[in-house]
Structure 1
């Protein structure tokens, strides 16, 4: 009877841990969704304002005539267009991330709905188990139960570490693609500086556009990795710090968009991408080391449990 209850408890404990993880993830994502939605609304307002400013300068008016007489109308118009482009791309990036967060919230709510009865089932099994143990005052039975619980918890912790490692490696893969695109843009930019002409300039801009698109994907992967890392820290005493990645794409918006033809901005973004990859890779290595330590502990508990059953 106790073995059947233990088997059921093992499954329920895994589901309970999953439910707790999903609840933490949902809380974090809902907070981020509120913040990002507010920023999206602000960017939308700014974008409309920039459109109006550009349209004013493009129309024949006293203002445009004034700038034309001074010889600065085209310069002013170009500046306004660049500002509008910057805001538009920031808006697109933010919209992309907000849409992703909405999908994540829906997914988590659906998963949590399937686990709504887990807590009550856990309490029922725990009550049955306690009743049996009180009736059977055997130290061996208690030790077996204790070892089974340690193994179950250890396996759950190991699963969370594995998920965090996988999420971290996804970030690294994404950053590798960003770095590759930036390196290609850098090469074409160098050629452009020594007189490559319109073709090399167009190719460089194409590579930058590709890198920026890849960064949007990396941003969502980083968010996922941060949540997985938070789950690991919640259950395991581990110190891993990857620093702030709240808006990883910002340096693209600040550099490659506002002044995207400047070669130094490509180099700067390339270096920042490499540093980000190094930080993530270091965290993944530490997680893998912690996973190996935990795996050894689980193996020890399993060996001890098997030996105890054998001699009893």
Structure 2
């Protein structure tokens, strides 16, 4: 009897939830955009002061650039060039982050128009169903409506939590790829700048280049994870951990260029990746607990509704 109107209510409810999420995501992204634009501006100014011709480095891999930098016997020049390159890599990442956020915001504003009428549609369908129920048993109908509303809200929470968990698992997968690349790179051992053989290995193998590629991918996935969490009602301590993710790529690039011992570089970067992985795992664990609680609540509410219908 109520199948058709229930389906319409559910579609409208999902549209309302999506609209709310769009607003939350836009708010989250716009809050991140300002500091990122400032960071991009500061890094660009810093690069302009460097003597290193960073434009020539655009299409070259990290390993080949390191090889060329270390070709100089002047350790002071090596250090300056490496610091400039690290700044260039961070600038490139900041620029990509800004462009990615601007693109996401534009898409969300475009999507918003699809859901602006969902609230009025929902209100109309709700009143129609309420009138139908009241004709049969007003008291039972009111209780069923209240329980149905709570189930609908819980289902939206379940959907959003699942989406956040998927986004978090994508981050973990990318982080594991970074760790694999760094583990492979760690096999080189201590890098002797003038040793010849190991320098040739660095130029030939692409472990660090693979790690850099995955770092860029991970940074994008982390931003998506943060955006998914924007509309998930979670405890405040999760938000504290997430705040540090925006500096993730910086930690990695600083680690690669902070010390001339290759093993130290790799270890520092590996530790920064592992730290973020542990944080993401902690957030996902809490999300899974929330998901289980909400699913149990839905089952309990549905059982209560079935009982009311049976007794009516």
Pairwise TM-score range, normalised by the shorter structure: 0.7 to 0.9
After TM superposition, give the deviation of residue 166 of structure 1 in Å: 0.5
Aligned to 1:201: 202
Distance in 1 between residues matched to 2:106 and 2:15, nearest whole Å: 19
Distance in 2 between residues matched to 1:113 and 1:305, nearest whole Å: 35
Distance in 1 between residues matched to 2:18 and 2:252, nearest whole Å: 36
Matches within 5 A, 1:80-229: 80-126=80-126, 128=128, 138-190=138-190, 196-203=197-204, 206-229=206-229
After TM superposition, give the deviation of residue 131 of structure 1 in Å: 6.4
SS at match of 2:116: coil
Distance in 1 between residues matched to 2:169 and 2:308, nearest whole Å: 39
Distance in 2 between residues matched to 1:286 and 1:226, nearest whole Å: 15
After TM superposition, give the deviation of residue 148 of structure 1 in Å: 1.0
C-alpha RMSD of the superposition: 3.1
Distance 1:42 1:272, change over 3 A: closer
Aligned to 2:59: none
Aligned to 2:297: 297
5+ residue gaps, structure 1: 56-71
5+ residue gaps, structure 2: 56-71
Distance 1:98 1:130, change over 3 A: same
1:185·1:203 contact (CA, 8 Å) conserved in 2?
Answer: no
Distance 1:276 1:79, change over 3 A: closer
Is 129-138 or 142-151 further displaced after alignment? 129-138
Matches within 5 A, 1:36-75: 36-51=36-51
Distance 1:11 1:53, change over 3 A: closer
SS at match of 2:94: helix
After TM superposition, give the deviation of residue 135 of structure 1 in Å: 7.5
Distance in 2 between residues matched to 1:191 and 1:75, nearest whole Å: 15
TM-score normalized by the length of structure 1: 0.81
Distance 1:141 1:307, change over 3 A: same
Aligned to 1:280: 280
Distance in 1 between residues matched to 2:165 and 2:272, nearest whole Å: 22
Deviations 1:175-217 (Å, cap 9, x if unpaired)? 000000111111123476895433223246x322221221111
Distance 1:192 1:125, change over 3 A: same
TM-score normalized by the length of structure 2: 0.81
Higher Cα radius of gyration: 1
Distance in 1 between residues matched to 2:166 and 2:23, nearest whole Å: 21
